[in-house]
Amino acid sequence: MVSPAWDGPPPLGVVVDLDDTLYPQAAYLAGAAVSVGRAAGDLGLDGDAVATALAACLAAGSDTGGTIDRALLAVGVPEAALPDLVPPLVAAFTGHIPDRLDPYPGAAAALRSLLAVAPVGCITDGNPVIQAAKLAATGLSPLLPAVVITDDLGGRAMRKPHPAGLTVLAERMGVPADRLLVVGDRPTKDVAVAAAVGARAIRIRQGEYAAAPDTPEAWAVVDSFPAAAELALGVLVAPAHSFG
């Protein structure tokens, strides 16, 4: 693979997103929808219908609020009943602990190759309990020595592209924030947060946002995490101090 031109100081570390970067988030969402369906059945609803409707709502935009509300309305639940039904179903969603989430092919090997030459960290948005469970289920935790779940820093307001999470992660990695190379699937989050600290990004076209416009523009655009790692390895310079 031919690397795009790189001018200026080279990166000293790599930061990766989690959802739809290291594993397909659709697998997690499918399992969470099933858990909600089971809980809906316990509440006297048609659990299969609720699970199907929720899966459709999540496919239309998994990080928008009110997906369970919309799913219940779609199966004919009266709006007046939502206040009693939504909280236990939200609890079922957030309480879903996947046994395993298979990473994208080659993701683990690509992380190992990056770790061999530079610090590697992960930044991810979302409910901290959910994101931690996802990461554990991928089996990739040992390959990600530094992890920041942005909601831990102050809730949804700290999510990418807010720079706080990336700044904290850079400190933990021992690398200046503007010398990081960020790898992720969403331009408006992963590419934008890199730009917010003066860093660069590689955008991966996969997952829910594969068709999203390349705005803001990344340093490079690829179709897989191993391809992103290959580009990163071509420009990385290991820092003089130890890391890991």
**Coil vs helix vs strand at 67:** helix
State yes or no: pLDDT of 156 exceeds 80.
Answer: yes
**DSSP state at residue 175:** S
- pLDDT tens for residues 26-56? 999 999 999 999 999 999 999 999 999 999 9
Tokens at residue 238, please? Answer: 């290991």
Q: What is the share, in percent, of the chain residues with pLDDT greater than 90?
A: 91
Q: What is the pLDDT of residues 86-111, one digit of tens each?
A: 999 999 999 999 999 999 999 999 99
pTM of this prediction? 0.91
pLDDT tens digits along 51-85 = 999 999 998 877 777 999 999 999 999 999 999 99
